[in-house]
Structures are given as C-alpha cells and as structure tokens.
Amino acid sequence: MKKILILLTIAFIIIIPILSSCSYNASGEKIERVGMLIENTINDQSWGSKGYRGLLEIQDEYNMDVYFREGVQTQQQVNIAVEEFANKGVQVIIGHSSTFGEFFNRLQASYPDIQFIYVNGGYSADNLISLNFNSLAMGFFAGMVAGKMTETNRVGIIAAYEWQPEVEGFYEGVLYQNEDVNVDIQYVYDWDEKDLALEHYQKMISQKTDIIYPAGDAYSVSIVESAMNDGIYSIGYVNDQQPIGSQSVLTSTVQHVDKLYLYAIEQLLEGELEGGIYNFGFKEEVITMGPYSEHLSESFTDHLNELIEEYKETGLLPHQIKK
C-alpha cells in the first residue's frame, strides 16, 4: 500500500515521499528517490504541469519517493534545493527547463553521487545528462499546416528565444508548403513573458496575420484563447491545446516530456543512460502532432502523416530529400 505524506513545506518546497520498494540500476545501486526542480508553477496548464505529471508517472511506475520544488529560477535557489534534496537522499534530480543545464553544470562535481538531468541544452558531464527534443521537425510540420491554411499569406510565430530549433523549422515548413507566405518571427526572451507576447500578437493581427504559432510556455494559452476570440487560427504548443481553442487550433506540436522523463529513469535503471547529450523526437514518440482541426482537409492531413512517417524512417524532412 502506498502512502503519500507531506513532510515539509518551507518557502516553496513540497516534499512528497512514498513508502516504496527499491529499484536498482545496472551497478546494483538502489534508486529510491527522484527530485524535480521547476522554474515556475505546476499549475500553468503547459510546461510546468506536464513536467509534474511526468514526476508522478515515475512515482507510480517505479514506486519511488518523489520530491519537487517550484519557483526555482536562480543559481542560489538551485544550490539550496539541491543541498536539501541531497540531505533527503535523492539520487536523481531533474531540472525541468533548459536553464538548469548551466546551474547543474556549476555544481554537479560537488555531488558525484547524484545524477542530474535537464532538458534542451548543451551541458554534460559524467553525472549530467541533457535530454533534447528534436523540435526542428515539429516546427517544420507546424509550418506546413500554417502555409496550407493561411488566406492572407501572413503567418506568425511568437517564440521565447532565438535558439529554439522550432523557429527555423516553422519558417522552412511554411515556405515548403507555400513560398508566397510572409513569416513574421518575434521573440519575448522569456518562457513566460505573457504581456510582450500579447503585444506581438496584437501587432501581427493588425497586419492581417491569420495564423499564430505561440512557441512558448505559459503565454501559449493566452495566445490560443485570443486567436479563438479574434476568429483566426493558431497552432498549439507543448500540449494539445484544442481543449482551450477548440477547432481554431489547427493542430498542436506536443512534447511528451512526461514520457521522456519516464524513459530516462527506465534507461538509468537498466544502466543504459550515462552522462551526455541525447536527442529524441517523433521516432521515439516523445513528440507528436496533436489532433487536427475539422477545418483541415482529410487529404492534407493524410499527406502530412505520410511525411511524418517518412521522416521517422529516414530522419530527413521533406525539403531535405533529394528528388
């Protein structure tokens, strides 16, 4: 029988231990406790909530004790949280954001017995793992949808950072589908900068943009809602956002980070995951396209699905295949 106990609430720490059985990795070492650090909140209906769901799936699948801390945004906060987790005997710490790569890289040598994991970055060490989404492809297929459905030949992407591969992918996908389209690309330089994102959105629709791809975390919900209310299309980000924007959401680029974390723990237990940088995407089914809107033709969605299957087999996007 599992028991969940709230042992400690200090500042924004929430400790959720379970009386668990033990799991082992390939070296015979017990992995009993996993912790997660989240930049903002688990209640954002987007990235934070999805990471938390992954932690709960680890809890259920492997009967491990799990711990999490919200609102961790600075090196000092990371240092404090990691030390507290270490004192609790946590053996794996997941940083649920690309920003944790740099934070973990600065302190991983001081905690050689802890395995650090984070997403979407270039830092690695013997006990530091980067799990990267191959998001160039998801941006490309989202771009194809936008290129197909625009009536004004103006589409927009509101991204958080210039380094996001889905930005390039979206641009290339739009033009692959329709070379006459103007692609407006804007950045807010923060995953949760809702106010600036909405400013970019308002400017875009004033210029007759009729499809928006909000490639950021918390603000994607607001953009999808606004697009629905303004009678234009959007493409959801991270989650299936049709429940928010109904059929105005043409599809969503869904990142199953919950499945990715579960997969990482499985690989750790089997001794198959070491320090390094790893990439996952459509082939591993940690990225999928969400449900298609009824406004998309069946012939187009069938064609798109065929291209996705071809990409999964070859690793090449449509414009990369020599005819």
Q: Domain-by-domain residue ranges, the chain?
A: 13-133+257-280, 135-255+292-320
- What's the angle, vertex CA 52, arms to CA 282 and CA 142, rounded to 5? 30
Provide CATH code, domain 135-255+292-320: 3.40.50.2300
Is the pLDDT at 7 greater than 50? The verdict is: no
pLDDT at site 26: 38
pLDDT band for 323, please (50, 70, 90 cuts).
Answer: low
CA–CA distance, 235 with 25 (Å, rounded to integer): 40
pLDDT tens string 18-51: 334 445 443 446 789 999 999 988 887 778 888 9
In this prediction, residue 8 has a pLDDT band, given cuts at 50, 70 and 90, of: very low
Q: What's the CATH number for 13-133+257-280?
A: 3.40.50.2300
> In 99-193, where does DSSP find H-type helix?
100-107, 135-149, 165-177
Q: What is the DSSP letter of 97?
A: S
Say what the pLDDT of residue 186 is.
98
pLDDT at 9 over 60: no
- In this predicted structure, what is the pLDDT of residue 46? 75
**Do 88 and 33 form a contact (C-beta atoms < 8 A)?**
yes
pLDDT at 124: 95
Beta bridge partners of 252: 236
Note the pLDDT of residue 168. Answer: 97
**pLDDT tens-digit readout, 244-303:** 999 999 999 999 999 999 999 999 998 889 999 999 999 999 999 999 999 999 999 999
Name the more confident of 173 and 15: 173
Kindly give, in sequence order, each residue whose CB lies less than 8 Å from that of residue 199, ignoring residues fewer than 6 positions away.
none
- Which single residue is written with the structure tokens 């053996």? 91
Is 4's pLDDT higher than 80? no
Q: Exposed/middle/buried for 22, CB within 10 Å: 0-12, 13-18, 19+?
A: exposed
Summarised one tens digit per residue, pLDDT across range 77-118 is: 999 999 999 999 999 999 999 999 999 999 999 999 999 999
- Interhelix angle 298-314/135-149, rounded to 10 degrees, is 160
pLDDT of residue 202: 97
DSSP classification of residue 292:
P
Encode pLDDT of 177-234 as tens digits.
Answer: 999 999 999 999 988 899 999 999 999 999 999 999 999 978 999 999 999 999 999 9
Identical topology for domains 13-133+257-280 and 135-255+292-320: yes
Closest CA to 307 of 176, 132, 175: 176
